């Protein structure tokens, strides 16, 4: 299948690679053309200097960029993909963005005669590299049915949750859960360390019971070692949590834990941790504990 991929960040770069290795004819676009050239050297395929040129003549255009503003730029901006897409084509957006822009772009796509699926992912960089991402989708049943088999090379599980915007709403729920789990682990490990317990031994026991989680399994060792360069960055988690908080205000839903953890992540940023991974809540927790003792 002829496809394009817009955005070669830590997620998009390996995802586009999986599509090429699966036998699809992939054209990539990246804001930094040097990275697109590196991708082409590694995987083959082709590159394009603009989103429009990447999207022209493609059956499916995939996208994974940073924020709503980035997404609007590569779709509706000058040289945006939407102006070049053919009728009957499909745009699949893997960006974690707002449900508002997902619905906006779905409406624009419908006016122009092609389909749109919002399909944010979960599983982090490791999931993208290993082809084990969870993908939560919004859009029509027909559009999702077209997207699902093509996404398969980098998918552990994909599911349609409802109309456009449903994927983004589900990703908000996902990020809220992660934030709460990470803060719980930070507090638990801080208490264990203060009491003189061996965190490795503590986790060995509690991870065999109800406290077990993906975050515990994959992050406790690096948290204990004070290493925070192993996953999703704090600045991006704050972006996602604020999308959720904005949506909650629209829905008149109270998210007190989410708001509190977002404040804690702001403290991590003030400690120099803007690019640390999300498990760095432990740094804030330990800094507070040591400050209370002094």
Of 146, 171, 221, 293, which one is the catalytic site residue? 171
Alpha helices in the chain (DSSP H): 12-21, 33-43, 51-55, 68-76, 99-112, 124-130, 141-151, 166-194, 199-206, 214-225, 234-251, 256-270, 281-293
Q: How far apart are CA 252 and CA 271, in angstroms?
A: 33
* Strand pairing report for 25-29 and 133-138: unpaired
Residue 171 bears catalytic tag: yes
Q: Which of 194, 166, 282 is nearest to 234 (CA)?
A: 282
Which tokens in the block code for residue 284?
């804030």
Which tokens in the block code for residue 285?
């927790």
Phi then psi dihedrals of residue 207, to 5 deg: -75, -10
Q: How far apart are CA 140 and CA 147, in angstroms?
A: 11
Would you name the residues annotated as active-site residues?
A: 171
């Amino acid at each position: 299948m002829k496809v394009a991929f817009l955005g070669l960040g830590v997620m998009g770069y390996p995802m586009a690679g999986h599509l090429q290795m699966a036998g699809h004819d992939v054209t990539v676009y990246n804001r930094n053309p040097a990275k697109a050239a590196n991708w082409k050297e590694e995987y083959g395929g082709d590159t394009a200097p603009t989103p429009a040129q990447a999207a022209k003549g493609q059956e499916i255009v995939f996208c994974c960029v940073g924020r709503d503003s980035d997404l609007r730029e590569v779709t509706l901006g000058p040289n945006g993909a939407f102006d070049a897409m053919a009728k009957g084509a499909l745009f699949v957006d893997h960006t974690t963005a707002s449900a508002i822009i997902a619905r906006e772009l779905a409406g624009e796509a419908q006016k122009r005669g092609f389909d749109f699926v919002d399909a944010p992912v979960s599983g982090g960089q490791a999931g993208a590299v290993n082809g084990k991402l969870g993908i939560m989708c919004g859009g029509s049943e027909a559009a999702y049915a077209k997207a699902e088999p093509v996404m398969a090379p980098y998918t552990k599980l994909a599911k349609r949750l409802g109309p456009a915007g449903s994927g983004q709403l589900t990703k908000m729920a996902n990020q809220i859960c992660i934030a709460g789990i990470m803060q719980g682990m930070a507090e638990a490990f801080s208490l264990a360390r203060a009491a003189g317990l061996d965190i490795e031994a503590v986790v060995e026991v509690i991870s065999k019971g109800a406290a077990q989680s993906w975050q515990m399994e994959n992050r406790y060792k690096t948290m204990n070692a004070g290493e925070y360069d192993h996953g999703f960055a704090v600045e991006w988690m704050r972006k996602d949590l604020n999308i959720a908080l904005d949506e909650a205000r629209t829905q008149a839903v109270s998210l007190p834990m989410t708001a509190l953890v977002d404040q804690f992540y702001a403290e991590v940023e003030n400690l120099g941790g803007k690019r640390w991974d999300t498990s760095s809540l432990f740094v804030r927790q330990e800094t507070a504990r040591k400050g209370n003792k002094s």
